[in-house]
C-alpha cells in the first residue's frame, strides 16, 4: 500500500510531462504556421513597381518568399526599388529596364528573359497605371488613348504574354489592379473609368477561360490610396475625400499589397473572376 502513492505520483508526473510536451508541440506548429511564407519558390512579375502601390506589392510578395521581377518605364526608380526590396527581404529582385507595357513585342521579349532567368512565372500583378483627367467635353483624343493604352491594353499585353507559360505549367495567379471608379464612375475620368471597368470585365472573362489551366484571375479595386498618383489632388479635396471614408483615412500601399499576397497564394485557389473593393468602406457612401 505504501508504494501505491509514489507510483500514482510517478504516473501523474509522467502525464504532466506528456501534456507539457504536447502543449510545446502545438505552440511550435502554430508558430511555424505563422512564420510560413505563402509564396516560397514562386516567381512574380509586378508592373509599375518603381513606386506607390506596385512597390508595396513587390515588397509584400518578396516578404512572403517570392522572387520578383519589376517592369516599369522609370528605369532608375525601378532599380532603386529592387535594391531596397532585395536588401530587406534577401529575395532575388530584378528590375528589367525599358519594359513598356503598351507594346506587346516589348512585353513578350521581357517574358522570354524572365523565363530564361527563373524558368517559370507563377504570379503576374498588372498594377501599372496612369491618369490624364479632363471632363468629357474637354478630353482630347491623346488623353483618351494614352490611358486606354497603359491601363487597359497594358493589362491585356502582359497577361497575353504570360498566360501561355502559365497554362503550359498548369499553374498561375493573375491579379489586376482596377479601381472603385471602374464600378461607380468618376467626374473627369472617362478614359480611366473605361479602362478600369474594362479590367474588371477582362478579369471575369479570363476567370472563366483560364480556370481549367489552374490559373486564378482576380482584380483588386482600390479606393483612395496615398501615393504619388494621389499627390496631384489638392489638400482640401484630399481632406474632403477622407471625410467620406468610414475608416477616416486614406489607404496605404500595404492595404492593397496584403490582399494581393492572399490572392497570389494557394489559400485563394477557389477564388477567380472576382473584383475586390479595398476602400475603407467609401463605396458604402454616406
Q: Which is nearer to ligand NAD, 66 or 260 (CB)?
A: 260
191 near ligand NAD (CB under 6 A):
no
C-beta of 44: minimal distance to ligand NAD in Å?
Answer: 16
Three-class secondary structure assignment of 211-241: HHHCEEEEEEEECCECCHHHHCCCHHHHHHH
**Whether 78 contacts 24, CB under 8 Å:** no
Member of 63, 127, 191, 272 binding ligand NAD (CB under 6 A): 127
Which of these is catalytic: 34, 184, 192, 283?
A: 192
- Here the cell at position 66 is 517570392
Cα end-to-end span (Å), the chain = 78
Q: Which is nearer to ligand NAD, 115 or 233 (CB)?
A: 233
**Whether 184 contacts 244, CB under 8 Å:** no
124 near ligand NAD (CB under 6 A):
no
Member of 21, 40, 76, 228 binding ligand NAD (CB under 6 A): 228
Dihedral over Cα of 186, 190, 192, 193: its sign? positive
Annotated active-site residue 192? The verdict is yes
C-beta of 103: minimal distance to ligand NAD in Å?
Answer: 8
Q: Which is nearer to ligand NAD, 71 or 144 (CB)?
A: 71
Member of 44, 45, 50, 111 binding ligand NAD (CB under 6 A): 50
**Whether 159 contacts 126, CB under 8 Å:** yes
Provide CB contacts within 8 A for 137, sequence distance 6+: none
Which of these, 27, 20, 60, 23, lies nearest to 44 by C-alpha position? 60
The site string for ligand NAD over 21-40 (x = CB under 6 A, - otherwise) reads: --------------------
Dist CA 274 CA 217 (whole Å)? 8
DSSP state of 131: -
Dist CA 278 CA 216 (whole Å)? 19
Member of 157, 179, 203, 275 binding ligand NAD (CB under 6 A): 179
Rounded CA Rg of the chain: 24
Q: Which is nearer to ligand NAD, 73 or 204 (CB)?
A: 73
The site string for ligand NAD over 91-120 (x = CB under 6 A, - otherwise) reads: ---------xxx------------------
Number of residues that bind ligand NAD (CB under 6 A): 29
Binding site for ligand NAD (CB under 6 A): 47-48, 50-54, 71-74, 100-102, 127-130, 150, 154, 177, 179, 222, 224-225, 227-230
**Residues acting as catalytic residues:** 192
Amino acid at each position: 500500500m505504501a508504494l501505491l502513492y509514489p507510483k500514482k505520483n510517478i504516473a501523474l508526473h509522467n502525464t504532466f510531462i506528456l501534456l507539457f510536451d504536447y502543449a510545446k508541440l502545438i505552440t511550435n506548429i502554430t508558430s511555424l504556421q505563422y512564420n510560413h511564407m505563402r509564396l516560397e519558390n514562386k516567381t512574380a512579375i509586378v508592373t509599375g513597381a518603381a513606386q506607390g502601390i506596385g512597390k508595396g506589392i513587390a515588397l509584400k510578395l518578396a516578404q512572403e518568399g517570392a522572387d520578383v521581377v519589376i517592369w516599369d518605364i522609370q528605369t532608375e526608380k525601378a532599380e532603386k526599388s529592387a535594391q531596397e526590396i532585395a536588401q530587406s527581404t534577401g529575395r532575388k529582385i530584378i528590375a528589367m529596364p525599358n519594359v513598356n507595357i503598351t507594346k506587346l513585342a516589348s512585353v513578350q521579349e521581357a517574358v522570354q528573359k524572365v523565363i530564361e532567368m527563373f524558368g517559370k512565372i507563377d504570379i503576374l500583378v498588372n498594377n501599372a497605371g496612369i491618369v490624364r483627367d479632363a471632363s468629357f467635353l474637354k478630353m482630347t483624343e491623346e488623353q483618351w488613348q494614352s490611358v486606354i493604352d497603359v491601363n487597359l491594353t497594358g493589362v491585356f499585353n502582359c497577361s497575353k504574354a504570360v498566360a501561355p507559360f502559365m497554362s503550359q505549367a498548369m499553374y498561375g495567379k493573375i491579379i489586376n489592379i482596377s479601381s472603385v471608379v471602374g464600378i461607380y464612375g468618376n467626374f473627369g475620368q472617362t478614359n480611366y473609368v473605361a479602362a478600369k471597368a474594362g479590367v474588371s470585365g477582362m478579369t471575369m472573362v479570363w476567370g472563366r477561360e483560364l480556370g481549367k489551366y489552374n490559373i486564378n484571375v482576380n482584380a483588386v479595386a482600390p479606393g483612395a490610396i496615398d501615393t504619388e498618383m494621389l499627390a496631384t489632388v489638392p489638400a482640401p479635396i484630399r481632406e474632403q475625400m477622407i471625410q467620406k471614408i468610414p475608416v477616416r483615412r486614406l489607404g496605404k500601399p500595404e492595404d492593397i499589397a496584403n490582399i494581393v499576397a492572399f490572392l497570389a497564394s494557394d489559400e485563394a485557389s477557389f477564388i477567380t473572376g472576382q473584383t475586390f473593393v479595398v476602400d475603407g468602406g467609401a463605396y458604402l457612401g454616406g
